[in-house]
């Protein structure tokens, strides 16, 4: 297993970036590889399960492990066939906007392949 951390910074405030994470219906607006999220709730909550549907129609099962609204942080797990990934997201306030971090844990080749798409999505998350 490998670990990879990605960063992005942009002009929107941290609360707006956090809302874009917390509201599942907003994911497709900043993550171009996501068509929609299928889940019983429309906001992040520990224990929430569902499926992220990609623009290609692939439905990826997930489980939210933790959500900390005060720290603007959350963690979840996804599974595609035999591949399992753990992801931890956090948003930080900074002068002139915010920054976000994504730490991924999983097979190195999978992380390397996903990194460019994840980096692109994170940049969109923190933009106006």
What is the per-residue pLDDT for 1? Answer: 94
What is the per-residue pLDDT for 35? Answer: 98
pLDDT in tens, the chain (128 residues): 999 999 999 999 999 999 999 999 999 999 999 999 999 999 999 999 999 999 999 999 999 999 999 999 999 999 999 999 999 999 999 999 999 999 999 999 999 999 999 999 999 999 98
What is the per-residue pLDDT for 128? Answer: 86
Domains and CATH numbers, the chain: 2-125 (3.30.530.20)
The DSSP line for the chain is: -EEEEEEEEESS-HHHHHHHHHBGGGHHHH-TTEEEEEESSSB--TT-EEEEEETTS-EEEEEEEEEETTTTEEEEEEEETTEEEEEEEEEEEETTEEEEEEEEEE-HHHHHHHHHHHHHHHHHHT--
What is the per-residue pLDDT for 21? Answer: 98
């Amino acid at each position: 297993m490998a670990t990879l951390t990605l960063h992005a910074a942009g002009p929107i405030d941290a609360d707006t970036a956090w809302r874009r994470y917390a509201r599942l219906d907003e994911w497709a607006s900043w993550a171009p590889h996501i068509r929609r999220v299928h889940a019983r709730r429309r906001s992040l909550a520990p224990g929430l399960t569902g499926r992220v549907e990609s623009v290609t129609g692939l439905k990826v099962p997930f489980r939210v492990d933790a959500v900390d609204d005060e720290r603007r942080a959350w963690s979840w797990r996804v599974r595609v066939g035999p591949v399992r990934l753990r992801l931890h997201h956090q948003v930080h306030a900074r002068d002139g906007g915010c920054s976000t971090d994504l730490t991924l844990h999983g097979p190195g080749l999978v992380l390397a392949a996903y990194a460019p798409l994840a980096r692109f999505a994170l940049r969109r998350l923190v933009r106006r």
